[in-house]
Amino acid sequence: MTDSVAPPSSSPACDPEGLLRMLNGDRDSVRDLVQTFLDNFPQLLGELDQALAESAESGMPEPLRRTVHRIKGVCAIFATGRIVARAREIEALLLAGAVPAGVDESALWREELQQVAAEMTAFNRSLAAGDD
């Protein structure tokens, strides 16, 4: 394993149709899940920013690893496999003690998380428009 994770991709970060299939086409449930995620997203980014700063300053991997792990779990039902795989790679870097690389890669992953939120916002709007 190298100390570098793949760069952010321009491909979709979410699989909203997969979420619809997983919930048997229940658009109301999907919309509720997506809205809950979007409502909590600023807090998730704030926690990631805090953990990034803490690990960068202290050199301790655990605050960032725990935060990446938790956000990975939250995003797993919305995001494509590449978002989850990237989180696993970051966790592995941090478990190996590669804190500077883990911090750098987590900052890049943060950008991908913002892509997840943007795509889920657009998807939620399309669900709402389909109900009209």
Bridge partners for 79 per DSSP: 14
pLDDT surpasses 80 at 1: no
Tell me which residue has tokens 């970051």: 90
Which domains are assigned to the chain? 16-124 (1.20.120.160)
Q: Which pair of tokens denotes residue 26?
A: 């229940």
pLDDT surpasses 50 at 3: no
Q: What is the largest CA-CA distance in the chain?
A: 52
pLDDT surpasses 90 at 51: yes
The pLDDT tens digits of the residues spanning 89-124 come to 999 999 999 999 999 999 999 999 999 999 999 998
Instruction: Give the count of beta carbons closer than 10 Å to the beta carbon of residue 80.
Output: 18
Instruction: Give the count of beta carbons closer than 10 Å to the beta carbon of residue 101.
Output: 17
Bridge partners for 14 per DSSP: 79
Q: Which residue has the higher pLDDT, 126 or 3?
A: 126
Q: What is the pTM of this model?
A: 0.83
d(CA 11, CA 7): 12
